[in-house]
Amino acid sequence: MGSRANAIRPNLAPQNGLAGYQVAAICYRHRRAEIEFLLVQTDGGRWTFPKGQVNSELGARKSAHHEALEEAGAYGLIGERPFHTFRWCKGVFWKPKSEQEIPVLAFLLEVTHQVEPEQKFRKPTWFSPAQARERLCERREMKHKREMNLLLELALLAAKPQKNGDRHLPLKLQ
């Protein structure tokens, strides 16, 4: 799946290290044969997946897991590689020169348990895929709505168990 994601977005694939990149933990769980996604709120009240800067000492994968724990209190199984790279918008499009697009490496994280998050204001909340799509697209420009829709579609494909019980991505216990 990682190669497919890079084929979709070759211009966002890391070329010279991870400078300028962020990481996201696309947290999910299986409930009654359905998948749910764990979202957190930003300072501005928008919903998003736990994400943040790459810690050079941890690397991208472990940094994504750290963000899940810090923002959502989520522990679990995380993909060995990012399954997708998407553009995240910081700032607001109606204020000239305030908007920045940042490439984000998305790691799938199957949540096994949760604790109280370090950042309590984030309000981690579970949503169905349809609810997650709605929340992720609220108050966003159309191109970023498309980014969130694609991210969710790829996450659903990657998280869906195969006939043999495996997921699309190799997972490893943290």
pLDDT tens digits, one per residue of 125-166: 999 999 999 999 888 788 888 989 999 999 999 998 766 555
Strands 34-41 and 84-90, by their bridges, are: unpaired
pLDDT tens digits, one per residue of 13-30: 454 566 678 999 999 999
Contacts 24+ apart (CB under 8 A), 53-61: 53/22, 53/23, 54/18, 54/21, 54/22, 54/23, 54/105, 56/18, 60/18, 60/21, 60/23, 60/105, 60/107, 61/23, 61/107
Closest alpha carbon to 49 in 1, 113, 116, 109: 109
Stated pTM of the model: 0.80
pLDDT band for position 119 (cuts 50, 70, 90): confident
Domains of the chain, CATH where assigned:
2-9+21-166 (3.90.79.10)
Angle value at C-alpha 19, between 53 and 159, nearest 5 degrees: 55
- Residue 54 pLDDT > 50, yes or no? yes
